A = this chain, B = another copy of it.
């Protein structure tokens, strides 16, 4: 089972046994559904017929507009809609040839999907400045070494902004990776599902699709930005022509055999959401602000305790490194990623996803913490957090932050 889901189960069992645990191990946005989205679903509730495999024409036009507004001019024919971006990424794994290069650490689904599709996944270390992308020099070296070994690296997956590090690779870095992709003839899969959760709208976002559009497939969805994980709405944008167009046709062929279509009532939701009317933009902006404020606060807790951690720029994650505290931790038997996560849970009452479960070095003292679990356990508390100009001062958010502080203190002292 996916390790985050296994952790979920473990947390549920410990809570049932009476333990007080702060669950920072699940990548869910933890906000209520925005009311116009609910209204769109209800409006679509009588649509019971199979829709087109590629998605409704209206939905694809809306998605094309969404990408076009992000400097990616898009025709509706380039868009495929699906029940989540996971099936789209799996379909790409099933049709793309060769091995796939993924950042280390990375979202814990890329490597297992590659394995299910019978592809080799090759992890490449991320640079110091940001995760979600392989270090360009490392990428070159790895491609060369793989080819010398008779292997066939053909795809690289990027995550912009990144899960698990919560960072956003800057434009210069993207350009370097695109240059490598061009030179080495790699297809770029750019997972941009957190794009609308960049905390500060002034931070520049460069998609590889702006640089090497003919070789880039962009995936996205509504699970993160609109907290619709439970509705399963994903999209992919393919190149307009050439091999990228054929790739779209191959993915559509997989779609028709494996999932048929996005559920018809959900197409109504997608048509509304990807059109981005003003009230939805305001809602998205409020979400990004809240995610940023809380992620920065959690970041401050970890760095305050002595960890090093890249500052979060998007999404709702931080990925601290407790290496500076290795001597202190070693005295408590914490010597690697599994023992760190276990000790945080047993002594600190904090559930986090150990770095090695994300492909990171098992000897490193790193983990992913999902910060969105602090917004509250009820829709009322979550709305309060979303609407507040100072969410950190809300009693329930402040209490959650104190619990993390306490947990970290119990770990290191």
Residues of B within 8 A of A252 (CB): 1
Complex CA–CA separation, A51 to B8 (angstroms): 11
Residue in B41, B49, B259 whose CB lies within 8 Å of A28: B49
Residue of A45, A46, A249 contacting most chain B CB atoms (<10 Å): A45
**Measured CA separation A359–B86 after assembly (Å):** 30
Using an 8 Å CB-CB cutoff, how does the interface string of A77-88 with B read, 1 for contact, 0 for none? 000000110110
Asked if A253 is at the interface of the complex by the 8 Å CB criterion, the answer is yes
For A47, what are the chain B residues with a Cβ–Cβ distance below 8 Å?
230
Q: A48 to B86, Cβ gap below 8 A?
A: no
Q: Which chain B residue has the least Cβ–Cβ distance from A230?
A: B264
Q: Which of A112-120, A278-286, A289-297 contacts B (4 or more CB under 8 A)?
A: A112-120
Instruction: Give the bracket for the number of chain A residues in contact with chain B.
Output: 35 or more
Digit string of A30-51 for contact with B (CB within 8 Å is 1, else 0)?
A: 1011000110011001111111
Out of B5, B49, B53, B113, name the residue touching A5 (CB < 8 Å). Answer: B53
How far does the alpha carbon of A62 sit from the alpha carbon of B18 in the complex, in Å? 28
A86 touches B257 (CB 8 A): yes
| B90 engages A257 (CB within 8 Å) | yes
Contact with B along A249-261 (1 / 0, CB 8 A): 1001110111111
Contact: A48 with B258, CB < 8 Å?
A: no
Q: Is residue A390 contacting chain B, with contact meaning CB distance below 8 A?
A: no
Q: Is the beta-carbon distance between A2 and B253 smaller than 8 angstroms?
A: yes
The answer to whether A228 touches B259, judged by C-beta atoms less than 8 angstroms apart, is no
Interface pair B232/A116, CB less than 8 Å apart:
no
A229→B48 contact, CB < 8 A: yes
Q: Would you call A45 and B42 a contact (CB within 8 A)?
A: yes
Q: How far is the CA of A227 from the CA of B48 in the complex (A)?
A: 7
Contact with B along A47-90 (1 / 0, CB 8 A): 11111010000000000000000000000000000011011001
Q: How far is the CA of A113 from the CA of B254 in the complex (A)?
A: 8
When C-beta atoms are compared, the residue in chain B nearest to A35 turns out to be B46
In the bound complex, how far is the Cα of B32 from the Cα of A46, in angstroms? 8
Any B CB within 8 A of the CB of A263: yes
Residues in B with CB closer than 8 Å to A376 are none
Report Cα–Cα, A90/B262, bound state, in Å: 17
A112: B residues at CB distance < 8 A: 253, 257
- Give the distance to chain B from A162, nearest Cβ to Cβ, in Å: 19
Contact B1 A256 (CB under 8 A): yes
Tell me the bound Cα distance from A83 to B261 in angstroms.
10
Chain B residues whose CB sits within 8 angstroms of the CB of A254 once the complex forms: 116
Contact A263 B83 (CB under 8 A): yes
Chain B residues positioned under 8 Å from A84 (CB to CB): 259-260
CB pair A230 B51 closer than 8 Å: yes
Q: Which residues of B contact A345 (CB under 8 A)?
A: none
A170 at interface by CB-CB < 8 Å: no
A213 interface residue per 8 A CB criterion: no
Residues of A within 8 A of B (CB): 1-2, 5, 26, 28, 30, 32-33, 37-38, 41-42, 45-51, 53, 83-84, 86-87, 90, 94, 109, 112-113, 116, 118, 227-232, 249, 252-254, 256-266
8 closest residue pairs by CB, A with B: A230-B264, A2-B256, A33-B48, A50-B229, A112-B257, A232-B263, A41-B45, A90-B258
